[in-house]
Amino acid sequence: MNQKKHASNPWYSRTDTSKLELPDSTWKRVLPPDLYEVARHGETERAFTGRYRDFEGIGTYYCAACGNALFRSEAKFASTCGWPSFFEAERPGTLAYRTDRSFGMVRTEVLCGRCGAHLGHLFDDGPPPTGKRFCMNSISLEFEPDRK
């Protein structure tokens, strides 16, 4: 892991799963501006621009804001939607959900269960075995390959 990248974020941890409830001003200070806009203001990166959309590495995807484990690469699937997509979470409770009524739609917003960062949305058109599609912003994710 690139520790330097998170040097300004003392709450980042790959092992501590305790919930974080920090004020917006703190996140604004510790996150890079582009990640802050997605994580704390629900911005969406442009389709087909994210670094993990076509990515097929074997490993774990962590929350880029807090280090919480979110998805395993085995749950990633090739989606045509333009964002990295997964059919299940890394473990129960690692994600949180909220109804999103923006843009005249009713969608399920997906948040990090540890820090509350906006990650993306959940749809019911995914592949077996779950039928779910966790449609994520690449910028909200941080991939770490498995150790050989």
Interaction site with Fe ion (CB under 5 A): 63, 65-66, 68, 112, 114-115, 117
Cα 61 to Cα 91: distance, rounded to the nearest angstrom: 12
Give the three-class secondary structure for 34. Answer: helix
Least Å distance between CB 63 and Fe ion?
Answer: 3
Least Å distance between CB 137 and Fe ion?
Answer: 13
Inter-residue contact 56 to 18 (CB < 8 Å): no
Name the residue nearer to Fe ion (CB basis): 48 or 97.
97
Name the residue nearer to Fe ion (CB basis): 34 or 125.
34
Q: Which residue in 45, 38, 113 sits closest to 83, CA to CA?
A: 45
What are the Cα distances from residue 138, in Å, to 20, 39, 100, 143? Answer: 22, 11, 20, 10
Name the residue nearer to Fe ion (CB basis): 21 or 56.
21
Cα 117 to Cα 110: distance, rounded to the nearest angstrom: 9
Name the residue nearer to Fe ion (CB basis): 23 or 104.
23
Q: Is 135 a catalytic residue?
A: yes
Cα 33 to Cα 8: distance, rounded to the nearest angstrom: 13
Least Å distance between CB 135 and Fe ion?
Answer: 17
Least Å distance between CB 65 and Fe ion?
Answer: 5
Cα 65 to Cα 83: distance, rounded to the nearest angstrom: 18
Among all residues, which ones are annotated catalytic? 135
